[in-house]
């Protein structure tokens, strides 16, 4: 998820720009059936206008080829789903596959997940955040690059609606320990069970790991207050 985004217009930087965003949401320009391009790296995207309706929003941060959302979104037509991915090739695969399923509740952005959460998503706007198999950065000197950090947990709490939930999965035992430590210590979260219907929907990585007999771990944390 950390490849160089190059000069593709569908992406935004991973570091913040000026701190005074324009007033009001910025339109999203459709680039394909579900893929869109942000028109501002400062203002929140106009997701209601892009989806064409108001509905609970769930975000898949680091969606890869979108295998999870392609399985989960059809089960919940009453929800809006936003795929977030840095790698252009992966998100283009999702853009090709989604129309074959007739999905109207799925959209995709090529953008850094941490940047989107910290700078672009409005407060109390996300019903659920799915973070599945993020890069584990296994070397000790690289662990500061992991997505799940105390500051990111605080950013997630800001954008989640009251009662909104963060769902986590990983195949890395050390990273799972860090995930539990971060959210266990974060203000305004409580650990909750992952719903059975959600656990039953695998990601592409998860299918591969299970086929190889490799264990995976999952956890969920709900925003309190």
CA distance to 80, 112, 166, 219, 223, per residue, from 193 (Å): 22, 28, 11, 7, 13
CB count in 10 Å sphere of residue 6: 7
Distance CA 79, CA 174 (A): 33
| Catalytic residue (one of 135, 155, 174, 204) | 135
Q: To which H or E segment does residue 36 belong? A: strand 35-38
172 is catalytic: no
**Burial class for 81, CB neighbours closer than 10 Å (0-12, 13-18, 19+):** buried
**What length does the chain have?**
225
3-state helix, strand, coil in the chain (%, to 5): 35, 25, 40
Active site residues: 135
């Amino acid at each position: 998820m950390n490849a160089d985004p190059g000069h593709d217009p569908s992406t935004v930087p991973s570091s913040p720009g000026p701190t005074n965003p324009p007033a009001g949401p910025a339109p999203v320009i459709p680039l394909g059936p579900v893929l869109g391009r942000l028109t501002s790296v400062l203002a929140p995207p106009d997701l209601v206008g892009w989806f064409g309706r108001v509905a609970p929003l769930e975000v898949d941060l680091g969606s890869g080829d979108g295998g999870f959302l392609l399985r989960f979104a059809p089960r919940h037509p009453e929800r809006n789903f936003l795929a977030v991915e840095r790698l252009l090739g992966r998100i283009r695969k999702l853009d090709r596959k989604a129309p074959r399923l007739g999905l109207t509740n799925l959209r995709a952005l090529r953008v850094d997940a941490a940047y989107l959460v910290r700078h672009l998503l409005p407060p109390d706007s996300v019903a659920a955040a799915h973070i599945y198999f993020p890069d584990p950065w296994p070397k000790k000197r690289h662990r500061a690059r992991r997505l799940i950090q105390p500051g990111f947990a605080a950013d997630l709490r800001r954008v989640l609606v009251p009662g909104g939930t963060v769902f986590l999965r990983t195949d890395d035992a050390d990273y799972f320990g860090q995930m539990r430590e971060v959210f266990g210590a974060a203000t305004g979260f409580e650990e909750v069970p992952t719903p059975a219907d959600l656990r039953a929907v695998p990601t592409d990585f998860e299918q591969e790991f299970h086929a190889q007999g490799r264990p995976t771990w999952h956890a969920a944390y709900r925003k309190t207050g």
